[in-house]
């Protein structure tokens, strides 16, 4: 007469473990899908932010160029006024 050990798994035990694994895999699959959607949303946010930064960089470059032009204009006006005062004072003598 042969006896089976009590610690050997039965088909029922294996079926229960497979069911648990299947539900775990399904849960993980749902988690992966959720994370995938979150990553897609973050990618869109990053793209939007990137476009905003490009727009800001372009505006900053425009303001910097305008400031340079204003400084050049100011120096030109100061130089013109100085030359005008000098020439006027020399010609009056």
CA distances from 5 to 8, 9, 16, 82 (A): 6, 9, 20, 111
Residues 6+ apart with CB under 8 A from 9: 17
CA distances from 66 to 14, 21, 69, 82 (A): 77, 66, 5, 24
Percent of the chain with pLDDT over 70: 94
Average pLDDT over residues 63-89: 96
pLDDT exceeds 90 at position 87? yes
Distance CA 41, CA 27 (A): 21
């Amino acid at each position: 007469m042969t006896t089976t050990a009590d610690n050997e798994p039965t088909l029922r035990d294996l079926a229960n473990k497979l069911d648990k694994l299947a539900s775990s895999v399904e849960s993980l699959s749902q988690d992966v899908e959720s994370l995938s959607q979150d990553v897609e949303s973050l990618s869109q946010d990053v793209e939007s932010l990137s476009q905003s930064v490009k727009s800001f960089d372009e505006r900053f470059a425009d303001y910097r160029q305008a400031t340079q032009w204003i400084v050049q204009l100011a120096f030109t006006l100061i130089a013109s006024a100085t030359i005008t005062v000098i020439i006027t004072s020399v010609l009056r003598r």
